[in-house]
Amino acid sequence: MQYKLIIVLACFVTSTICATSGSTLKNQASTLLDQLNSQKMDVILFWNAVLIRAGANDYDTSIVATPDQAGPTTTSRAFAIIHGAMYEAMNAFERTYKPLFNFINMPKTNDVLSNPAVEAAVTAAAYQTLVSLYPTQKTLFDEAQSGFLNTRKKDLLSQLATVRGTAVGYLVASTILSNRRSDHSQDKGVYTPIMQPGYHQADPTHPSQSFLSPQWGNVKPFVIRSGSQFRASNIVGQNVAQRLQYINSQNYINDYNEVVRLGSLNSTYRTADQTEIGIFWGYDGAPKIGVPPRLYNQVVRVIAIQRKNTVQQNARLFALANYAMADAAISAWESKYYYGLWRPIVAIRQGTRNTRSIPNWLPLGAPADGSGINFTPGFPSYVSGHATFGGAVFGILRLFYGTDTMKFQLQSDEYNGITKDSVTNKIRPVRTRYYQSFTQAEDENFLSRIYLGVHWRLDQEAGRTMGRQIASYVFTQNN
C-alpha cells in the first residue's frame, strides 16, 4: 500500500509539473507570436527567437527536469543543426550558395518561388529540428508553428505553395538530422585527472563536479576538417616535465598574478565595471539563462535587426555564425582535453615553486545566479570556450559585413532585473552596454573570464585566435 501511495504521489507531481510547463510554453509561444506581428520579424528572426527561448527553457527546472542539450558543446551543435536546416531550406529556393549537405529526392522548387513556400520550408525545417533536439518543449514548437502559419495568406495558391514548401523543409531537416546522427556526439568520453601540478582537477568547492564533454574534440565538425585542425599552440607542455617548466615560467607567473589581482572573490583591484563585464558575459548554465551559444545568438540578432537584413541575409548569417560556433566548441574542447591545463582555483590554492599558495582562495566565479555558490566550470582551462566562441562569432560578423566598425548596444539576461546574484543575494538591475565596434565587444568577452577568476589570459588569447581562424575558414568555405 505504501508503494502504491508513493507511485500515485509521484504521478501526481509529474502530471502537475507537465501541466504547469505546458501552460508556460503556450504562453511563451503566444508572446513570441505577438512579437512576430509587432516587430515585423521575418521567418528566420521568428524561429531564432523561438530557439533563444528554448535555450533558456532548457535550464528552467519548472519546464525541463534535465536539459535536453546540457552544456555549451551540445547546445552549439543543436543551434547549428537548427539554423543550418533553416538556411538550407531557404537555399533550396534561392540556390545562391552551395549546400553543405547532399539532399536526395528534393521536391521541385522552381515553380514555387513564392514567399509562402519559402516561409513554409523554413518553418518546417525549424520545427522538425527543434522537436528532435528539444523534445521536452514540443508544446512551444507546436504552438509557434501553427500560430506562424495562421498569420499567412490563405488563398489557394498560397496553400499549394505552403504544402510544397513544407515538404522541402521536412526533407532538409530529416537529411541533416540523419547526417548528424552518427557524428560521435553521443559517444561517452572519460577524463582521468593527472594528479600532478599543472593539470586539471575538479573545482574544490564543488568536489563532485563531473568533467563535461571530454570526447567532444572527436565530434564530426560542420565545416572544418577535424577538431585538431586549429589546435592551440603547445605553450603549456604535453607531458609532466614540460608542464612543470611552463608553470614555473614568467609568462605563467604574470597570468597567475593577474587572476589573483582581478579575479578574486573580494578583489579590491577589480572595478565595479570590470565586475559587471565578468558577469554580463557569463551564461554559464544558470537557471533560465543557459549557455554561451544562446548569448552570442542574441548578439547576432541585435546586429541583424539593426542592419535591417533581408530574410536571405539572415538565413545565411545565422547559419554561418552557428556553424562557426559549433566547430569552435569541437576545436576548443579538443585542445582543452589534449592539454588538460589546470584552472586558477586549483592552481592558486596549490601554488608552485614561483607562485605562493593561497589555500582558501576563491574566484568571483562563473555566476550561479541564485542556484548555489559561484563556481569554476568543469573542464580544462586551455583554451577558453568563451574566447573561442567570441572569436568565431565576431569574426563571422566582421567578414559578413566587411567592417569592424559597428555601433550597437546589448542587454544580457545576467542583468535583466530578474536574475539574482549568488554573491550579493540581490536581484541584479537591468544593464545595457554600448559598443563602437565588434572588437570592443569581443575584448569585453575576452576579459570577462579573467575578471571572474576562472581563466588565465593565455586561455583567452589562444581561444580568440582559434575562433577567428575558424570564422575565416567557415566563411571562405561557404562564400
- Residues 132 and 209 occupy one common structural domain: no
What average pLDDT is seen over the chain? Answer: 92
Assigned domain for 120 exists: yes
Q: How far apart are CA 387 and CA 59, in angstroms?
A: 22
Give per-residue pLDDT as tens, 68-105: 999 999 999 999 999 999 999 998 887 778 777 777 76
22 pLDDT band (50/70/90 cuts)? confident
Containing 138, the helix (H) or strand (E) segment is: helix 138-150
Phi, psi of 328 (to 5 degrees): -65, -40
Tell me 362's DSSP state. Answer: -
CA distance 331 to 117: 37
Dist CA 32 CA 102 (whole Å): 33
Domain of residue 35: give its range.
1-181
Cα–Cα distance between 125 and 383 in angstroms, integer? Answer: 34
Domain end (from 181, 215, 242): 181
Specify the 3-state DSSP secondary structure of 437: strand
The DSSP result for 16-56, as a single string, is HHHHHHHHHHHHHHHHHHHHHHHTT--HHHHHHHHHHHHHH
Considering the domain architecture, whether residues 162 and 238 belong to the same structural domain is answered as no
Q: pLDDT tens-digit profile of 158-211?
A: 888 889 899 999 999 999 999 999 999 999 889 999 999 999 999 999 988 889
Residues 384 and 325 in one domain: yes
pLDDT digits (tens, 9 = 90+) for 294-321: 999 999 999 999 999 999 999 999 999 9
Taking residue 7's Cβ as centre, other Cβ atoms within 10 Å add up to 10
pLDDT of residue 479 exceeding 90: no
The tally of domains found in the chain comes to: 2
> How much is the pLDDT for 360?
96
Is the pLDDT at 2 greater than 60? The verdict is no
| CATH for 55 | 1.20.144
Confidence class for position 451, pLDDT limits 50, 70, 90: very high
> Are 146 and 221 found together in one domain?
no
Tell me whether residue 152 is exposed, middle or buried, using C-beta atoms within 10 angstroms of its C-beta: 0 to 12, 13 to 18, 19 or more.
middle
Over 80: is that where the pLDDT of 436 sits?
Answer: yes
171 and 207 share a domain? Answer: no
Query: Of the candidates 148, 181, 214, which is a domain's last residue?
Result: 181
The answer to whether 193 touches 201, Cβ cutoff 8 Å, is yes
d(CA 231, CA 83): 26
- Report the alpha-carbon distance of residue 43 to residue 126 in Å, rounded: 10
Q: Tell me, what's the pLDDT at 160?
A: 85
Cα separation, 376 vs 364, in Å, equals 9
Task: Let me know if residue 322 belongs to a domain.
Answer: yes
Maximum CA pair distance of the chain? 78
Of 158, 181, 204, which one is at a domain's C-terminal end? 181
Contact of 469 with 228, CB cutoff 8 Å: no
The predicted structure's pLDDT at residue 380: 97
In this structure, are 215 and 112 located in the same domain?
A: no
Q: Do 253 and 402 belong together in one domain?
A: yes
Structural domain contains residue 81: yes
Q: Is the pLDDT of residue 12 over 90?
A: no
Q: Within a domain: residue 454?
A: yes
Instruction: Output the pLDDT for position 6.
Output: 36
Question: Per the domain annotation, does 359 fall within a domain?
Answer: yes
CA distance 131 to 297: 19
Q: What is the reported pLDDT for 94?
A: 76
Does residue 365 share a domain with residue 264? yes
Q: Determine what percent of the chain is predicted with pLDDT higher than 70.
A: 93
Q: Residue 114's pLDDT is what?
A: 67
Taking the C-alpha atoms of residue 373 and residue 174, their distance in angstroms, rounded to an integer, is 42
Residues 235 and 168 in one domain: no
Q: Please check whether residue 188 lies inside any domain of the structure.
A: no
Same domain? For 243 and 313 the reply is yes
Q: Does residue 82 sit in the same domain as residue 116?
A: yes
| Residue 221 domain-assigned (yes or no) | yes
The C-alpha cell 548578439 sits at 299
Q: Is the pLDDT of residue 3 over 70?
A: no
- For the domain that residue 202 is a member of, what is the CATH number? 1.10.606.10
Bond preceding residue 240 cis, omega within 30 of 0: no
Are 248 and 278 in the same domain? yes
The pLDDT value given to residue 430: 97
- Structure confidence at residue 10 (pLDDT): 41
- Residue 186 placed within a domain: no
Residue 371 CB coordination number (10 Å): 15
